[in-house]
Amino acid sequence: MAKGLSIAFVLPWYGPGVLGGAETDARHMVEHLCAAGVPVEVWTTCARGLGSDWNENYHRPGRTTINGVPVTRFPVTLIERDRYWAIHRKLAYGGRATPEEEALFFTQSIRSRALCDHIRSRAARPDYVFVFIPYLFGTTYWGAYVAPERSLLISCLHDEGFARLVALRQLFRAVRGVACNSHAEMRLVQRLYGLPEERLAVIGAGVALQGQGNAQAFRERYGISTPFVLYAGRKSYGKNVPLLLTYFCRYRQRRGTPLELVLIGGGRVPIPPDCRHAVHDLGFVPEPDKLDAYAAATVFCQPSVNESFSIVLMEAWVQRRPALVNARCDVTREHCQQSQGGLYFNGYAEFEAALDLLLSNEALRRRLGERGRHYVAQNYTWEKVTDRFLGAVYG
């Protein structure tokens, strides 16, 4: 495609208060593109966010500007959200959807007929390309089919039941191209959907290198004086936080260590009663406190297997923290292998051995943290990521 095209990002919801890794990455991407003079805008629904009522037009329809980015909102199409979530739960717990359930899944997902009509009107012109993120919602499914030959997916794909829907295989094969956050994600797209390499691009996600956390300030503010393992992100079963809690409590019992665990981010998970005193669930914290938490942590742990990039892993490396990740996640394991910035575990025995090594060797922790920061600086600055993105759009 020729340079000079207007780029329209299509999302189910948008704004500084919207949670979600894909949504946050997209917002930062369009803000950086806009600041660089790229003709970019956002089209979204009037819905508030993932946890809101998808039938409610929380925002006014129409055009506004957010942090310099032109944003146009469209009224939602009424859906039966309970039917969507029933199928969502079935897929999340390993079930398979029937063809009828697949059709319902996307029909009853967040979407907007008015938004699709707007895409159709712009598709009649030669100067637009459409970027859809993330892959699972109706705004992407119905919107990308309006003009698939000019549509690019930023998939944020995980190796999970949703990714194996027949309807998604058809969608991925219909669009012009797919932008991936990592080489491991690209291999997953190829394995599931059989796409040729020329229709794929690895762009990554941008990470800010500025801002140094204050470890002492964090410890004083939250009353934590002992060494601690840090987890940042959504606290859910899908992110394997219960596994981390189980392993952490077992480690404390076996080692008799004063080590503590700090959790930051949304969601709730049950904390085992016998180590509740050693777990600090801080919920959402301000961004400066988050940087301070990274800087204060002894080890950063990412137990999730459902990652396409893991921005929190990169943020921890920016603060020079050593990482411990789940070996069953191809994405984060590959980041650790390429950066030499962390260790990975498969099962409790390896978790224990890795934590023993990290806690006992300060020089190793420092070396891993420095390598991690170097890896981020070499690969994931916003300048590098936006250049790769524009290459995928105009290539």
Each residue's pLDDT tens digit, 344-371: 999 999 999 999 999 999 999 999 999 9
Band (63; pLDDT cuts 50, 70, 90): very high
Backbone angles phi, psi at 182, to 5 degrees: -155, 160
In 3D space, the residue among 363, 365, 349 whose CA is nearest the CA of residue 229 turns out to be 365
Band (256; pLDDT cuts 50, 70, 90): very high
Q: Report pLDDT for 3.
A: 64
- The tokens 């409590």 sit on which residue? 249
| Number of other residues whose CB lies within 10 A of the CB of residue 117 | 12
215-379 shares the fold of 6-206+381-394:
yes
The model carries a pTM of: 0.92
Question: What class is the 215-379 domain?
Answer: alpha beta
Question: Mean pLDDT, the chain, as a whole number?
Answer: 95
The ranges assigned to domains in the chain are: 6-206+381-394, 215-379
DSSP state at residue 138:
H
Q: Give the tens place of pLDDT for each residue, 306-336.
A: 999 999 999 999 999 999 999 999 999 999 9
Cis ω before 134 (30° cut-off from 0): yes
Question: What class is the 6-206+381-394 domain?
Answer: alpha beta
| Number of other residues whose CB lies within 10 A of the CB of residue 108 | 22
| Helix (H/G/I), strand (E/B), else coil: 388 | helix
- Residues 115, 139: contact at Cβ < 8 Å? yes
| Helix (H/G/I), strand (E/B), else coil: 62 | strand
